[in-house]
Chains A and B, each alone.
Chain A
Amino acid sequence: MTRERLINAALLASLLGVPLLAWQMDEPFVITLATKVAILALAGVGLNIALGLGGLVSLGHAAFFGIGGYAMGILAAHAQNYEPLFTWPFLFEGSNQMPLIWLVAVVASALAALVIGALSLRTSGVYFIMITLAFGQMLYYFAISWSAYGGEDGLSIWVRNEMPGLNTLDPIQFFAIAFAVLAMALWFSARLARSPFGLALSASRQTAERVETVGLTPFKLRLVAFVISGAITGLAGALFADLNRFVSPTMLSWHTSGEIMIFVILGGVGRLYAPLLGAAVYILLEHLLGGISEYWQIFLGLLLLIMVLFAKGGLIGLIAGREVAHD
């Protein structure tokens, strides 16, 4: 086992162990914090596929996170008001069932990523950053003015959505759901990185000209990566909204995009478990320093500056050393 794998295993074990301990000690707040870490890490796992593997610096991932959030909000709001979403061409009712909500969240954010990606991926570098940011902000302002679903105030859901066989109102059970989804996404992204697609995508990041010369199209590879990336971040959005039982335009704002990117950079761009470590550090700092000063993000900024200047492999790179090539 390489050092990075040990660290990954330790991270996953801690994420599972801490809330279990808190459950024994009857500390539901800690469980909620851990749930938040798992969900935000999931959003980061999505971004890391575009950013880490594909080298696509998207500052618009809040769009997918928010679309996932609104998918949950809209479906659940209709369900709690007993109003169908639409009746033509077929009857489509709201729902408070997580599996259906997730499906809608994944499909909607994947479609959005397909459209945004198809347009944005014609540019590169700083233009790509700007155009993804612009799409994100467009959706943000759209949500603010969409009064049918709360506009600026957002949408509140009275009761957390249901998962067959589980009581989602019990913090530890909801945590288990978030943890299971995160674990699957981590497994999937590890698998993806070692697949033929992952190899070609990673090569497109390093040397697009070479990829074309062997007869593969970097644009298509990037677009598919962007769609997968957006879909995973969208799923995280649905879970995040369920955690808070609330969705608002804030989820779509560029601050959210920045935060998701911070998780990835803090952990180490391209490292599979970077989003988990990054999100955990972020939430811990927010919790610990937030109590001392409301300007706690100054310290976060300082930490980020140090990481970017002195540890380009992020925290995981710092502990595990240089990345070893996949076998």
Chain B
Amino acid sequence: MTDMPREPVLRTESISKSFGALKASNNVSLTLYPGEIHALIGPNGAGKSTLIKQISGGLTPDAGRIEVLGQDVTALDTVARARLGLGRTFQISSLAMEFTVLQNAVLGALGARGNAFSFFRKVMKDAELLARAEEALKRVGLWQDAGKRTADLSHGQRRQLEVAVALTLKPRLFLMDEPMAGLGASGSKALTGFLDELRQEAPILLVEHDMDAVFALADRISVLVYGEVIATGTADEIRQDPQVRQAYLGDEEEA
């Protein structure tokens, strides 16, 4: 994808964020175009999570600006950005553990509807919400476990549910924070196949440690080191980049 005439769905323009003397994000400029998976990699402590939080709305950058679908969202909070169509999955599952799998998906569908101030209708009998939840659960292959308590799910199933909840929102772009973390080889392969198709629906900014998945999936890769993007390019370009090899990949040759 070298030729990209279309407008980016997400753009960060030289955003910076410091915590005291630590520059967690230093002049970061990224773009995410329709139909692509843009992977963000970097060693631990490189500032990936801080960056993700600024994009999703949990943190405000000290400088720079963030655009979603051409709109400046720098001053908007998480809720407003979600409503604009930003779907996020978390590194550490933040599902409602007391709920069933279906209830978690219905919560997403309720968010998509945008109004939770209904006090008498039975939420688990709401056909519209259920249909949306069912569709998302079926897509990630979790429908047969819809009645299970979320706390009783395996780690891999929780990752699937994370993705399903994001799907119920029918977002315009995805922000995925290590969706493969802790998955076994087969689970990670299945999810890789799924994300591969998903990019046609909405582009994905993917933070991931699983290098096999990143190199298999990503149209472009950005490498973050000490809060700074040291390289952006295709998988091949990144593999060849001497700076990247030295800073990052060299340490994980076997991975």
Contact = CB atoms under 8 A, between A and B. Distances in A.
Contacts of B121: 195-196
A314 to B, nearest CB: 16
A216 B126 CA distance: 18
Contacts of B100: 325
Interface in A207-227: 207, 209-217, 221, 224
A323 interface: yes
A200 B116 contact: yes
A203 interface: yes
Interface in A176-215: 191-192, 194-200, 202-203, 206-207, 209-215
A122 interface: no
User: Can you list the 4 inter-chain pairs with the closest CB atoms, starting with the nearest?
Assistant: A214-B111, A215-B82, A200-B116, A206-B96
Interface in A265-314: none
Interface string A39-57: 0000000000000000000
Nearest to A191: B120
B90 interface: yes
Given A199-B106, A203-B107, A212 B82 contact: yes
Interface SS majority for chain A: helix
8 contacts: A194-B122, A196-B126, A207-B95, A207-B96, A212-B82, A214-B110, A214-B165, A327-B124
B120 A200 contact: no
Nearest to B99: A325
A46 to B, nearest CB: 15
Contacts of A212: 57, 77-79, 82
Interface string B48-65: 000000001110000000
Contact of B96 (A197, A203, A213, A217): A203
B116 A221 contact: yes
B154 interface: no
Given A195-B120, A198-B123, A213-B56, 14 more contacts: A194-B123, A195-B122, A199-B123, A207-B94, A209-B58, A209-B78, A210-B95, A213-B88, A214-B112, A214-B169, A215-B79, A215-B111, A215-B112, A327-B124
